[in-house]
A and B are shown apart, each in its own frame.
Chain A
Amino acid sequence: MNNPVLNVNAMSKDFGGIRALDEVDLKVADREIVALIGPNGAGKTTFFNCITGIYTPTSGDVLIDPSAEGRTVRINGRKPNHVTELGMARTFQNIRLFPSMTALENVMIGTHCRTKASIWGAISRNPATRREEQAVIQRSYDLLELVGLENYVNELASNIPYGKQRRLEIARALATDPFLLLLDEPAAGMNPHETKELERLILKIREKFNISIMLIEHDMKMVMSMSDRIYVLDYGRMIADGTPEEIAANPDVIKAYLGEDHDD
């Protein structure tokens, strides 16, 4: 088996006296779709914030290996923009688009760390800058098409319907050219039809870009049908991991999560 692209080792995060994450372990293999589930307040978003550099873990290791060939890098305490540059891109649970920029511009922002036009390049508009700019525009448009937003290209992000805003966030994250895409509740607020479409989109993204995907999600149907493996977080501890079948049969999980929340 290849080296995991993301390897989280005994990571903990304390806020004051409260331990939000307690020695959590998690691995994502190349081209794998991994879901992180758990009741509200279990620490799922905190987990994302810790591995993307928004929070610094109190202890433990976050190791990444973008090419899955054994060249691991420890990224604890790196700034969020470095983490993104290294190839992990995320979306946010409570959508964080740039509301007064157009959909296209939002995606173009994602390409920032892969391009290099300088102040001088911007003012002089030399051929290299012009080429780069045109490539950025085209690539951003292509990504919008991929997520099905070709009719909203020049629409301000704040004017786009809610479900499509989530797709726009995915396109923006893809623009950073990640090896691992982190989706924080991508199906929240979507109807079953939209969720089905989202599922297709996520699978398509994996095929097209050959990347791994990790998602936090409450929609059990979606999680069970598309994930390769599932991790379950409860009160900051990883209580189980395994294939969807294993998780569905795990008594701890049923007690902690499905038992009280199974109409979700």
Chain B
Amino acid sequence: MSETKSMNQQGFLNLFLTAGCDSFPHALRKSFLVAVWFAFLTFPIMVIKVNTIENTVVWHWHKIGYLAVAVFFGSFIWRWLLARKELKKDENREETRIESLLTRVQSHPVLKYLALGVLAAAAAVFPQVFNLYQTNIMISCLLYIVLGLGLNIVVGLAGLLDLGFVAFYAVGAYAYALCNMHWGLNFWFMLPVGAVLGALLGILLGFPVLRLRGDYLAIVTLGFGEIIRLVLENWGEVTMGPSGISSIDRPALFGVKLGVIGSTHYMYYIMIGLVILTIFSVNRLQNSRIGRAWLALREDEIACQAMGIDKMKTKLMAFSLGATWAGMAGVVFAAKTTFINPASFTFWESAIILSIVVIGGMGSIRGVIAGAVILILVPEYLRDFAQFRMLLFGAIMVLVMVFRPQGLISAKRKVYEYKVNTAGAANE
């Protein structure tokens, strides 16, 4: 037993040190060259900072030293991961420990309800235990879970890359802010209105664009997101321009206006409700006739059409359903912050939501939730690291695509139950 273990370790070390190379010295040489190449590559931008007004230069030579060392070791890991991916290509993908743990809990009735109970209790007491600041962070995390699950319908299930998701979010937020400002319409009335507006806009944009190849969709939605933002910024008479709209009403509890603490707690519970509704709906959708059609469409459009699936209609459903959730989340966002301006709806917002879906696991509800929790909460608590947030998101997106396209936690397949006919089975 211990012998095989040490042999495995040796095999691992061997693979790690020489992956993709003939021998260890060859690997060393390769890593050295890569380090030199990256030092050269990053030299002007990392090392030299010029000030063309005062004509001064600052050199940061140490940076390139760190970088070269990091790249040297990193290239071993890179080659090892590539080699491992190649080795495992033909094997059935195994579940990771976390995935199999989750699956086991989910399929065991007692454990499942126990885990759900613990989760529900923790969610219920959270605002009582933690302070207002932390409750607020939790609310935005929950908001991103909803946004992530909404985008997951579009990107994860239907395989449509939507880079302008934030546009629908903005429409929901501005719809509530404007209707509230002009006519005093309340939150509960506007929540479904925001959802419907999102859906309608989704259909309106999706209709011409979804006929196109997938990569065009990405760029058109990207452009559309920018158009919405530019209109919000420049159409001052209606949207109040870059200065935005302030003192938006928070939701009232049975007509009673709450104080800051009370309304934050209320908002928190509303978000919990919305998250539950979202998980419930998305879960049922993905295991339905329509959900299967989305998956099939993602895999092979031609075969899908040949099996009688209306490509346009199915895509449009996914696109506008995603937009529905973004619209709802927008209304909640406006009510939560009580102030909105176009700066909240830049491409970065779409990028963050996309990272949540991609890094968490496309098509996987539990993955998207994990993605939102990690990507939103970790930077909040590690303030020093906050400025590197987008840098890391970008890098991780590339790494996930290269080494683990299914994301952090992959989707779970539903197991169907059927009746075996022994008569037909005699065939084989």
Residue numbers of A with Cβ under 8 A of B are: 52, 54, 79-81, 84-85, 89-90, 92, 96-102, 104-105, 108-110, 112-115, 117-119, 121-123, 125, 129, 132-133, 136-138, 140-142, 145-146, 148, 150-151, 153-154, 159, 172-173, 175-176
B33 at interface by CB-CB < 8 Å: no
Partner of B420, one of A98, A109, A140, A150: A150
B299 to chain A, nearest CB (A): 4
Q: Is the CB of A109 within 8 A of B317?
A: no
The count of residues in chain B whose C-beta lies closer than 8 Å to any C-beta of chain A is: 39
With a cutoff of 8 Å between Cβ atoms, the chain B residues found around residue A85 in the complex are: 308
Question: Contacts A84-B307, A105-B292 given; 11 further ones with Cβ under 8 A?
Answer: A80-B306, A81-B307, A92-B306, A98-B295, A98-B303, A102-B413, A114-B308, A117-B288, A137-B417, A148-B427, A150-B420
Bound form: Cα–Cα A101–B416 in Å: 13
The reply to whether B284 and A54 contact each other, CB–CB distance below 8 Å, is: no
Beta-carbon nearest neighbor of B420 in chain A: A150
B2 within 8 A of A: no
**B308 and A115: CB pair below 8 A?**
no
The 8 closest A-B pairs by CB, nearest first: A113-B308, A122-B288, A84-B308, A145-B424, A96-B303, A141-B418, A80-B305, A98-B299
Q: Give the residue among A89, A136, A137, A150 with the most B Cβ atoms within 10 A.
A: A150
A172 touching B307, Cβ below 8 Å = yes
- Whether B308 and A176, one on each chain, are in contact in the complex, defined by CB atoms closer than 8 angstroms, is yes
* Set of chain A residues within 8 Å of B419, measured between Cβ atoms: 138, 141
In the assembled complex, B365 has its CB within 8 A of some CB on chain A = no
Please, how many angstroms separate the alpha-carbon atoms of A85 and B280 in the complex?
32
Most buried by B among A100, A109, A117, A141: A109
**What number of residue pairs across chains A and B have CB atoms under 8 A from each other?**
131
**In chain A, what residue has the closest Cβ to B406?**
A100
Residue B209 CB within 8 A of the other chain: no
Tell me the bound Cα distance from A159 to B91 in angstroms.
10
Q: Which residue from chain B places its CB closest to the CB of A141 in the assembled complex?
A: B418
* 30 CB-based A-B contacts, threshold 8 Å: A52-B306, A80-B306, A81-B308, A85-B308, A89-B306, A89-B308, A96-B300, A98-B295, A98-B304, A101-B296, A101-B299, A109-B292, A110-B308, A112-B293, A118-B290, A121-B288, A122-B290, A123-B281, A123-B284, A123-B285, A132-B289, A141-B420, A142-B424, A146-B427, A150-B420, A150-B428, A153-B418, A159-B92, A172-B307, A176-B307
Asked if B30 lies at the interface with its beta carbon under 8 angstroms from chain A, I say no
- CA separation between A114 and B309, bound complex, in Å? 10
Residues of B within 8 A of A (CB): 92, 280-281, 284-285, 288-293, 295-296, 299-300, 302-311, 317, 321, 413, 415-421, 424-425, 427-428
Whether the Cβ atoms of A101 and B292 lie closer than 8 Å is: yes
A109 to B291, CA, bound (A): 10
Residues of chain A within 8 A (CB-CB) of B302 are 54, 80, 96
A117 near B296 (CB under 8 angstroms)? no
Which of A90, A115, A122, A133 is close to B306, meaning CB atoms less than 8 Å apart? A90
* B283: nearest chain-A partner, CB-CB: A123
Task: Give the docked Cα–Cα distance between A123 and B280 (Å).
Answer: 8
Q: Tell whether, in the assembled complex, residue B415 and residue A145 are in contact, meaning their CB atoms are under 8 Å apart.
A: no
Cα distance A78–B27 when bound, in Å?
58
A121–B281 Cα distance when bound, in Å, is 11
Known: A98-B299, A150-B428. A104 touches B309 (CB 8 A): no
Dominant SS among interface residues on chain B:
helix
Residues of A within 8 A of B413 (CB): 102
When distances are taken between beta carbons in the complex, the residues of chain A under 8 Å from B309 are: 81, 109, 112-113
Residues of B within 8 A of A105 (CB): 292, 295
- A-side contacts of B290, CB under 8 Å: 117-119, 122
Contacts of B310 in A (CB 8 A): 79, 81
What's the Cα separation between A117 and B285 when bound, in Å?
11
Bound Cα distance from A145 to B420, whole angstroms: 9
CA distance A145 to B426 in the complex (A): 9
Residue of A80, A84, A99, A142 ringed by the most chain B CB atoms within 10 A: A80
Collect the chain B residues with CB atoms within 8 Å of residue A153's CB. Answer: 418
Residues of A within 8 A of B307 (CB): 81, 84, 89, 109-110, 112-113, 172-173, 175-176
Known: A108-B292, A112-B293, A138-B419. A148 touches B428 (CB 8 A): yes
Q: Does B299 lie within 8 Å of A99, measured CB to CB?
A: yes
On whether the beta carbons of B304 and A109 are closer than 8 Å, the reply is yes
Measured CB to CB, the nearest residue on chain B to A204 is: B427
Closest to A139 in B: B418
- B285 and A112 within 8 A (CB): no
- Please, how many angstroms separate the alpha-carbon atoms of A24 and B367 in the complex? 53
**Which residue in chain B gives the minimum CB-CB distance to A159?**
B92
Nearest-Cβ distance from residue B384 to partner chain A, whole angstroms: 40
User: A155 vs B415: C-alpha distance in the bound complex, in angstroms?
Assistant: 11
Residues of A within 8 A of B317 (CB): 119
| A61–B89 alpha-carbon span in the complex (Å) | 47
User: Which residue of chain B is the closest to A173 with respect to CB atoms?
Assistant: B307
Evaluate contact between A104 and B416: CB separation under 8 angstroms: yes
Given the complex, which residues of B lie within 8 Å of A150, measured CB to CB? 420, 424-425, 428
Check A122 against B285 for contact (C-beta < 8 Å): yes
The residue on A at minimum CB distance from B92 is A159
Residue of A90, A114, A119 with most chain B CB atoms under a 10 A cut-off:
A119
Chain B residues whose C-beta falls within 8 Å of the C-beta of A102 in the assembled complex:
413
Given B281, B303, B427, which contacts A92 in the complex, CB threshold below 8 Å? B303
Tell me if A119 and B293 are in contact (CB < 8 A). Answer: no
Q: How distant is the Cα of A174 from the Cα of B370 in the complex, in angstroms?
A: 40
